Structure 1
Amino acid sequence: MRAIWCGFALGVIWLQRQAVLPGMGEWWALILAGCAAVGVAVWGLSAHGAGAAGAKYEPESRHAPARRNWRGVRMRRVAGWVAVWCAAISVGFGYAAGRAQTRLAVGLPHAWEGRDIEVTGSIKGLPTRDDKGARFLFNVDTNDARLAAFPRVIQLTWIARGAPAPRLEPGERWRLTVRLKRPHGNANFGVRDTEANLLARNVRATGYVSAPDRARRLAGRARGLAVLVDRWRAALRARIDAVLADAPHRGIVVALAIGAQDEMSPADRRWMRGTGTSHLVAISGLHIGLAAALAGWLAAAVWRRSGWVGRNWPLRLPAQLVGATAGVMFAALYAALAGFNVPAQRALWMSALVALAFLSGRRFARSTVLAWALGLVLLIDPWAVVSAGFWLSFCAVGAILFAMSGRPRRRDSQASRHDEGSPLRARWQALCRASIGHLRALVERLRSAAHVQFAVTIALAPLTAYWFAQIPLVGPLANAFAIPWVSLLVTPTVLAGVALPVPFDALAWRAAHTLLDALAAGLQPLSGPRWTLWLPQPHAWALASAALGVLWCLAPRGWPLRWAAPLTWLPLLLPSADGALAEPSGAFRLTALDVGQGTSVLVQTAHHALLFDTGPGPESTDAGERVVVPFLQAQGVTTLDTLMVSHADSDHAGGARAVLEVIEVRQLVAGLEPDHALWPKAKQHDAQTLPCVAGQRWQWDGVEFTVLWPDAGAFTARSNDHCCVLRVSTLPAITADEAGMRAGVHAQRFAALLTADIEAPTERALLARDRNMLRSQVLMVPHHGSRTSSTEPFLDSVDPSIALFQVGYENRFHHPNDGVFARYLARDIELGRSDRDGAVRVDVDPGAQAKGGAVLTLERYRDTQRRYWMER
């Protein structure tokens, strides 16, 4: 079964890497391949029973036919097991493809995007609230669009406009007027795919309540076990909120109680991420395993002592059966509290299998238990493989099992010695031996715990670099203290609060918060950037090399050259393929991020980086924290030589605070008013500050940066009139003599023009000043393609080969304007749009011309990183 479940998992993972789902031809090929593999597996594995007796290997030469027969049997068995893997992979691939086709068959038609639709249904899951309103999932029962394939689950936002959003409870039935769009997320290199998360939760449309005044709460509630669990979780969250109110670590207590991490404060997230202890706030497999073991032990202990109350329950039902059953039931209850996340599911299935083996009198190999849990998790949710929690959870348990498999438990060889001498001396010797035995057992437990911690740290380091672009150097030390502190003290105290009635629950939760205060006080000083190794997102081959090194390092004692295992991790330190430039000097890369309705552009030279604008902030989609910072970290950009904020509009400057909090910024150049809050914020983080003024010029690595706008002067009411306009151009990299030696290549400048939100008056002013300075091969389209910009004379002067639009999907401003977009189409310009293409990358490499390559290379994220669930 291990081979079957592992092959099934490989098939599911293979499907989630596909750009398109299989068509009819691929389905028939898959079915035929699976059937053929099953036939070969039956043929090959049946040789084991038929040939075991008559094909026994013997070394004498007179038995050469028997040896040949034995070799044939072995080859058949190898072919049979290979066929088992192939069949399991085919089943896994086909199962995941079938689930995906069924789920994608339901969706909102494009024609109904942005239109008012009245829906009736119920609240699903736990709604979340903040100052901006409420966010929740909604189970749709009916819709006035009368669409048969209308999405069953939609994700809604109730925006607080004038009045706060109403209190929403799980299971409540509502009639709402909503505006929806198809599930579309920001698509950026190295950043988590939100569309995959929406698909995993079966959310096939997102939107907002467009007419709150017409919303009506209906009579009755939805029914079902899931609704009861959600209502229980919501009641617990309300109790904790009432007790802890504005306590700084209230969000961690809520996370440990019900698995909801959305209420954690940014400060708590930072210090936990910086110390590698973020996994502790989830109801993880470790917490569920400990809770289940404690519940099982308590139930069995009470059952055994039923004679104290005049009952003989163990005579009717063994205490072991009661304890195992109680442990599994408590694990299921705790997993339900966690919302059945992937680590909780893994721990639940493993606990259930261990209990089943114990009750049936059988012994399952630990790897078999893990393989069953792996298969069951993916059987329920084939999209679990696209989440970090899946890989971190299963790889951590696998590393522990592999590392501990070669460590036999020591036994005290002196336990059977007979004492000689007087009874007093004998008792003294027995006491000494017992003390020494307990001390040795304690030392052995500490060594085993240290070995487990070492194994988990080593195994998860490559995955942490891939998912989070960092490895906290203090992680092993912080976890050595934090894991027992949270698992043995904080979590049981939180659970005691869950079980205790009012007002005793308040005492438990306040005690848990006090313990968290002590933990935070100890770990916060170790969470700074100097304690973190920032790494670019590694290549696939670098991850494979690191995985080999993990197995090599954790192999049993005696494995050859274990000291050389760290050498296999060196590829993790190399620049990522996404972040590497084609030439060491004289070239630059421009990446227009997909931040929704806003602007953020990263310009990289060989050794420097400039970020132009930071996208919307927390007042909108919080692209600075969700997109810009993770993208920079994934590219290995831990320091920005210059952060340029074009103007004060929130869709350009809103994410700057998040960038300043995490990324080292050496210089802030901005078109902001003197009293803007970003100036003191930048100085607080030791960044130099200066206003953006036309005429500023500098060079990095053979690339010239020139500010073309605004002129020095007082600010007016319209911030768009003072946008920074930046031209990035290559320098003439070769002299005339060198050009002649390079087959007639002539020195030429290649440029990109970043225009922010300038409009027609600014365009005319720039044209009157110097048309030659405007000529550029790459143009960031002014003001997201609004009708007030991109005038015909301006486009004629720039004459771009590539134009990039940064616009939000189905944005309320209807950018880009149809007439403006037609101007670009009429000029045969290569276009990139963030709403359709995701992030767009342009490499400008003058040296490529001498090698017969293209100077300008355009890459669209949704083309090169295409997945079958992505919207265009």
Structure 2
Amino acid sequence: MRVFICGCFLLWLLAWSQLQWWQWWGLCAGLLLILAYKASLRNHQQILMLLLGIFLMALVAYLMALKHGQKQLPWYLHKQPLLVSGCYEILHKNQFPLQLHLYQPRVMSQLTSESVTKVWQQHSLGSGYLKLSIYDADLIKALKNRTKGALVAMVKVKKPRNYLNPDGFDYVRWAQSQGQLASGYIKNELTTWNACHKPGFNWLNRGQQGFLQALEDIPHKGMGVHLWAALTAGYTGGLESKDWQVLHRTGTTHLLVISGLHIGLVAGLFMGISRGLLRLFKQPQNHALAIWIAWAVALSYALFSGWGLPAQRAMIMLSAVMLVNRLGLAWTIWQRLLLAWSVTLLLQPNSLYSPGFWYSYLAVANLALVWRGHTFKAWYMWVWQLILSQLALLAILAPGIGFSTGGLSLVGPLINLLLIPLFGLFIVPMLLMASLLLFCLGPHQSVMCYMAIAMDGLWQWLQWLASWPYAMLNVGHWPMAVWILWIVLGILFLLCRCYWYAALGLLGVIFLQPIKASQQITVFDVGQGLSVWLQAAEYNFIYDLGDRPSNSFNLLQAVVLPALYQAGVASLDRVYIGHWDRDHSGGLPALVSPYENITVGQWWLPRERHKELEQYIPANAHIKRCQTTSWQTIGDIRLRHLSLQQATLAGNNASCVLQVELQGKRILFTGDIEKIAERKLVALHGHELRSDILIAPHHGSRSSSSSLFLYTVAPRMVIISAGYQNRFGHPHQDVLARYWQQDITWYNTALHGQIRLSFSPAGELLVRHAYY
């Protein structure tokens, strides 16, 4: 109890202090040295050897991961037409453009050009894959009927590159961890495909494809079929971005990944069946043979489900637990876990950067601690131990999940307490038996429809829970100290088996959420689009919502919302959409999603109507149309609106222009206006347009930023929001020359990344950008 009280007081005292990174690392190193010293005094040599082994394996894995991360597409192949070959797999059959992964890609170059015979030389690009998009309708139609095979095609690819935002998604690291070498598209010439031969695994691939096709033929259509495919075959191609949000908000993403739960269940099921059959036939050594049969069936199932990284980790862990005894090694559970951990890092060095890798082993270690030395006969004691195991997982895994994702599911512990036993004992076994019946009876039997309907009901229940306003807690703004102390206290409480103290004390951190009020303007790097965040004390405005390159990806969720959550922003006072082009309004469907923890006070929309996009906005939303207004005061902000549609302009030139004054500095937001709109603004408002900062009109296109407009506005600084190496050539060199001629400092998000303007205590303007 004294450790608990002192730990909570230390958490309250230090969690929000502004210490340097090296000070926190020094604090953690000191705690580890104290624990190691205490262990050595008690002659716990095994603990010291365990810690030393973990450190050495982590060091080796880190060096291997660094070497593996250097395997990328060479720069001389970047954006060059290439003839490549390899084995492909379609990702999403019902999306446009059609996307596929080309594994083990090889670049083909022609050595001879005789008309009779042609000799080709192939150069391997590495052991990863290329992510390719297809736009040709005929090729899409042909490939949809054959989701796997070998492909030879002319492609143009590019290296992975991040949007330069400190709080944004690290796409390059994620691509490296997944083995993605490059992404691009398939050109419409020299495309051939046939069967891809993988000796020893063709029957598994054919079986998986036949199973997925049989699922598609079930008369009942809905999410139930997609859940069935994910839970049994590891195929998540039927899940969209909004579906993953449901799983994230309910804390159930791990249930749809073929991992230890599924593979352990298959192994346990077939071990029981094998032992029963062997006893029936009175075979000696039945226990050892049952273990080998269960292991072989679990391996086959892992291969059938796609042999993903979680499945590989599960098989390694299962092998360490099941087969060590068969080899005559009486190892403890910790020695087996360390063996599995080491082998995983040797085979998958990039797992060191994967949160799922750490979650899986920490979860198993937690369960080993909780269930150690317990044998229960009464059912209620088993239930009580399950509750304690969930509290233990909360103490250890919640800090990692909250730090890496910026959110904690408040309903997740309760849902998992119900669903983990339900999935393990009922749902997954029933789906596996139904899958076997699917091969035998066909997809048109009523039992298949009933199973799909039951899974639909489960999904609707998860959707209902995910739509709760407080299903997800935003914790992205919590400092690093909270997570470090949470983990330290969680480990201490687990070792002392004080699970209730861990849950109650550590959940008390939820009430310590001070949000620092600041005054700043952030221009996000959203590629060829625009999104600006204006923050003044407790008021938050967003001007434009970025692009949506595809139905499954938008820059608002990837860039803007993580930054808002990182700052603890849960509501936006105003959202402006300058005009309806996709690169300015693409994030609208994501912002109004019921699965995002953010509310909007007022919507300021263009005067031009757009029924397709406006249907996403809730019917009870407070909507205003852009119109010319006088200066208004909102807190520390002064602003006014300038409507160009009222001046008979349309399209880009009717963008809603916003002029803001903050800390004595004026900022002019111009959307995508061009020279004709600039002349109209000068004629109507003249030198009232003078501003210190100008958000460049139309991404710095040649048809904007006229000399007259720049002279009238007279900005000291121009910020250009443009995509890296965009196909439009923004910003144009003539525009940059005009900036130089008028002695205007300019920044470009394509070069400088995210640009943040803040103010010093003396009121001076400070500029920070993500690229240095």
Query: Under TM normalisation by the shorter chain, which class is it?
Result: 0.7 to 0.9
Partner of 2:116: none
- Could you say if the C-alpha distance between residues 389 and 754 of structure 1 is closer, same or farther in structure 2, counting changes exceeding 3 Å? farther
- How high is the TM-score relative to the length of structure 2? 0.83
- Could you say if the C-alpha distance between residues 265 and 334 of structure 1 is closer, same or farther in structure 2, counting changes exceeding 3 Å? same
Q: Distance in 2 between the 1:486 and 1:74 partners?
A: 43
What is the CA deviation profile of residues 92-124 of structure 1, one whole-angstrom value per residue up to 9, with x for unaligned ones? 4333223233x14x4242xx544433x131333
Contact 2:259 2:313 in 1 (8 A): no
Of residues 835, 841, 846 in structure 1, which corresponds to 2:755?
Answer: 841
Contact 1:705 1:728 in 2 (8 A): yes
For residues 286-297 of structure 1, what are the structure 2 equivalents within 5 Å?
286-297=261-272
What is the CA deviation profile of residues 142-179 of structure 1, one whole-angstrom value per residue up to 9, with x for unaligned ones? 33499968566321000255884432546533332222
Partner of 1:180: 157
Q: Distance in 1 between the 2:422 and 2:43 partners?
A: 52
State the Cα distance separating 1:472 from its structure 2 match: 2.6
Partner of 2:527: 596
Of residues 554, 567, 578 in structure 2, which corresponds to 1:646?
Answer: 578
State the Cα distance separating 1:682 from its structure 2 match: 2.1
Q: Distance in 2 between the 1:767 and 1:593 partners?
A: 28
Please tell me the residue identity of whatever aligns with 1:499.
Answer: L
Q: Distance in 2 between the 1:572 and 1:497 partners?
A: 48
SS, match of residue 814 in structure 1: coil
For residues 769-780 of structure 1, what are the structure 2 equivalents within 5 Å?
769-780=684-695
Partner of 1:746: none
What is the CA deviation profile of residues 724-772 of structure 1, one whole-angstrom value per residue up to 9, with x for unaligned ones? 12222214xxxxxxxxxxxxxxxxx223322221111112222333454
For residues 42-57 of structure 1, what are the structure 2 equivalents within 5 Å?
none
Contact 2:534 2:541 in 1 (8 A): yes
- How high is the TM-score relative to the length of structure 1? 0.74
Partner of 1:490: 427
Please tell me the residue identity of whatever aligns with 2:757.
Answer: D
State the Cα distance separating 1:828 from its structure 2 match: 6.2
Partner of 1:409: 375
Contact 2:233 2:305 in 1 (8 A): yes
Q: Distance in 1 between the 2:732 and 2:531 partners?
A: 20
Deviates more, 1:137-146 or 1:555-564: 555-564
Contact 1:596 1:809 in 2 (8 A): yes
Q: Distance in 2 between the 1:130 and 1:562 partners?
A: 46
Contact 1:173 1:218 in 2 (8 A): yes
Partner of 1:129: 93
Partner of 2:683: 768
**In the alignment, is residue 666 of structure 1 matched against residue 601 of structure 2?**
yes
SS, match of residue 794 in structure 1: helix
**In the alignment, is residue 450 of structure 1 matched against residue 358 of structure 2?**
no
Contact 1:605 1:700 in 2 (8 A): no
Contact 1:472 1:532 in 2 (8 A): yes
**In the alignment, is residue 688 of structure 1 matched against residue 622 of structure 2?**
yes
Of residues 569, 576, 579 in structure 2, which corresponds to 1:637?
Answer: 569
Contact 2:438 2:448 in 1 (8 A): no
**In the alignment, is residue 355 of structure 1 matched against residue 332 of structure 2?**
no
Partner of 1:855: 765
Deviates more, 1:611-620 or 1:279-288: 611-620
SS, match of residue 595 in structure 1: coil
Partner of 1:708: 642
Q: Distance in 1 between the 2:463 and 2:501 partners?
A: 38
Of residues 128, 131, 142 in structure 2, which corresponds to 1:166?
Answer: 142
Q: Distance in 2 between the 1:827 and 1:339 partners?
A: 60
State the Cα distance separating 1:848 from its structure 2 match: 2.4
Q: Distance in 1 between the 2:456 and 2:55 partners?
A: 52
State the Cα distance separating 1:474 from its structure 2 match: 2.1
State the Cα distance separating 1:646 from its structure 2 match: 0.8
SS, match of residue 719 in structure 2: strand
State the Cα distance separating 1:401 from its structure 2 match: 2.6
Partner of 1:23: none
Q: Distance in 2 between the 1:121 and 1:163 partners?
A: 16
Q: Distance in 2 between the 1:672 and 1:136 partners?
A: 41
**In the alignment, is residue 543 of structure 1 matched against residue 483 of structure 2?**
yes
SS, match of residue 239 in structure 2: coil
Deviates more, 1:488-497 or 1:214-223: 214-223
**In the alignment, is residue 524 of structure 1 matched against residue 490 of structure 2?**
no
Higher-Rg member (1/2): 1
SS, match of residue 636 in structure 1: coil
SS, match of residue 811 in structure 1: coil
Q: Distance in 1 between the 2:413 and 2:507 partners?
A: 20
Contact 2:84 2:155 in 1 (8 A): no
Of residues 470, 475, 499 in structure 1, which corresponds to 2:436?
Answer: 499
Please tell me the residue identity of whatever aligns with 1:291.
Answer: V
- Could you say if the C-alpha distance between residues 200 and 276 of structure 1 is closer, same or farther in structure 2, counting changes exceeding 3 Å? closer
Partner of 1:33: none
Partner of 1:461: 398
- Could you say if the C-alpha distance between residues 222 and 776 of structure 1 is closer, same or farther in structure 2, counting changes exceeding 3 Å? farther
- Could you say if the C-alpha distance between residues 828 and 156 of structure 1 is closer, same or farther in structure 2, counting changes exceeding 3 Å? farther
Q: Distance in 1 between the 2:45 and 2:425 partners?
A: 51
State the Cα distance separating 1:258 from its structure 2 match: 2.1
- Could you say if the C-alpha distance between residues 504 and 531 of structure 1 is closer, same or farther in structure 2, counting changes exceeding 3 Å? farther
State the Cα distance separating 1:126 from its structure 2 match: 4.3
SS, match of residue 155 in structure 1: strand
Q: Distance in 1 between the 2:245 and 2:47 partners?
A: 50
Please tell me the residue identity of whatever aligns with 1:166.
Answer: A
Deviates more, 1:167-176 or 1:320-329: 167-176
- Could you say if the C-alpha distance between residues 278 and 78 of structure 1 is closer, same or farther in structure 2, counting changes exceeding 3 Å? closer
State the Cα distance separating 1:669 from its structure 2 match: 0.2
SS, match of residue 534 in structure 2: strand
- Could you say if the C-alpha distance between residues 783 and 449 of structure 1 is closer, same or farther in structure 2, counting changes exceeding 3 Å? same
Please tell me the residue identity of whatever aligns with 2:543.
Answer: F
SS, match of residue 190 in structure 1: coil
Q: Distance in 1 between the 2:578 and 2:701 partners?
A: 17
For residues 783-802 of structure 1, what are the structure 2 equivalents within 5 Å?
783-802=698-717
For residues 245-644 of structure 1, what are the structure 2 equivalents within 5 Å?
246-265=221-240, 268-307=243-282, 314-315=283-284, 318-405=285-372, 408-409=374-375, 440-500=377-437, 502-504=439-441, 506=443, 507=445, 509-537=448-476, 538-557=478-497, 565-566=505-506, 569=509, 573-575=513-515, 580-582=516-518, 587=519, 589-617=520-548, 619=550, 621-644=553-576
Partner of 1:193: 170
Contact 1:725 1:753 in 2 (8 A): yes
- Could you say if the C-alpha distance between residues 339 and 219 of structure 1 is closer, same or farther in structure 2, counting changes exceeding 3 Å? closer
State the Cα distance separating 1:705 from its structure 2 match: 2.6
Contact 2:366 2:393 in 1 (8 A): yes
Contact 2:556 2:587 in 1 (8 A): yes
State the Cα distance separating 1:622 from its structure 2 match: 2.9
Partner of 1:720: 652
Q: Distance in 1 between the 2:346 and 2:486 partners?
A: 29
Partner of 2:81: 116
- Could you say if the C-alpha distance between residues 472 and 203 of structure 1 is closer, same or farther in structure 2, counting changes exceeding 3 Å? closer
Partner of 1:311: none
SS, match of residue 546 in structure 2: coil
What is the CA deviation profile of residues 205-245 of structure 1, one whole-angstrom value per residue up to 9, with x for unaligned ones? 2111232xx24324553434566655543332222112256
Q: Distance in 1 between the 2:297 and 2:46 partners?
A: 43
State the Cα distance separating 1:257 from its structure 2 match: 2.2
- Could you say if the C-alpha distance between residues 121 and 84 of structure 1 is closer, same or farther in structure 2, counting changes exceeding 3 Å? closer
Partner of 1:140: 105
What is the CA deviation profile of residues 318-372 of structure 1, one whole-angstrom value per residue up to 9, with x for unaligned ones? 1111221122222222322343334323321111011122213433322223223
SS, match of residue 679 in structure 2: helix
SS, match of residue 166 in structure 1: helix
- Could you say if the C-alpha distance between residues 719 and 387 of structure 1 is closer, same or farther in structure 2, counting changes exceeding 3 Å? farther
Please tell me the residue identity of whatever aligns with 1:394.
Answer: Y
- Could you say if the C-alpha distance between residues 217 and 161 of structure 1 is closer, same or farther in structure 2, counting changes exceeding 3 Å? closer
SS, match of residue 681 in structure 1: coil
**In the alignment, is residue 817 of structure 1 matched against residue 756 of structure 2?**
no
